[in-house]
Structure 1
Amino acid sequence: MLLQMIERFLRDEDMTPTRFGRDCARDPRLVFDLRLGREPGDRVRRRVEHFMNTYRRSISR
C-alpha cells in the first residue's frame, strides 16, 4: 500500500525515486529497497506520508 502511494506520487510529481528517498528519509535507496520487499517501520512510514502531504501542499500554493 505505501509503495503504491509512493509510486503514484513519483508519477504525479515527476520525481525520481532517488530524490524522493533522499528528500524524505535521507535514504536514496528507500524506494528501490521497498520495491525489493523491504518493510518500513512506523517511523519511516509516517515520515514518508508527512513528506508527500507537505510537498503537495507547498506546490499547490
Structure 2
Amino acid sequence: MQTNILSEIEAFIAAHGMAESTFGREALGDWRLIEELRGRNGRRPRRLWPETEAKLRHFMATYRPVAKARAA
C-alpha cells in the first residue's frame, strides 16, 4: 500500500533531519519524488512500482549519514 511507504519515508526523513528533495535525489535521483507521491498541485499521486518501492526501502535500510565537516 502506497500510503504505508509514504508514512515510512516521512518518518525516515524526520528522524534524519533530511529535506524531502534530498531524500528523493539520493534514493532515486528524483528531487520531486515526495511531492509526486503526495499528489500535490491538483495532480494524482504518483504510482510506485514494486521495484521502485524496493529501491526506496533498500535506501532507507542501508542509509548511513555522512559526517559534515565543521567550519574552522
TM-score of the pair, normalised by structure 1 = 0.87
1:42 aligns to 2:45 (yes or no): no
Distance of 1:39 and 1:7 partners within structure 2: 17
Q: How far, CA to CA, are the matches of 1:40 and 1:28 in structure 2? A: 15
What stretches of structure 1 of length at least 5 have no aligned partner? Answer: none
Larger radius of gyration: 2
Aligned-residue CA RMSD (Å): 1.0
Give, in angstroms, the shift of residue 54 of structure 1: 0.1
TM-score, normalised relative to structure 2: 0.74
Q: CA offset at residue 8 of structure 1?
A: 0.4
Q: Which moved more, 1:34-43 or 1:1-10?
A: 34-43
Q: Which contiguous aligned blocks of 4+ residues in structure 1 show a shift greater than 6 angstroms?
A: none
Q: Which amino acid aligns with 1:52?
A: M
> How many pairs were matched up?
57
- Amino-acid identity (%): 33
Q: Which consecutive unaligned segments of at least 5 residues does structure 2 have?
A: 40-44, 66-72
Q: Which has the higher contact order (CA 8 A, sep 6+)?
A: 1
Q: Deviation of residue 18 (structure 1)?
A: 0.4
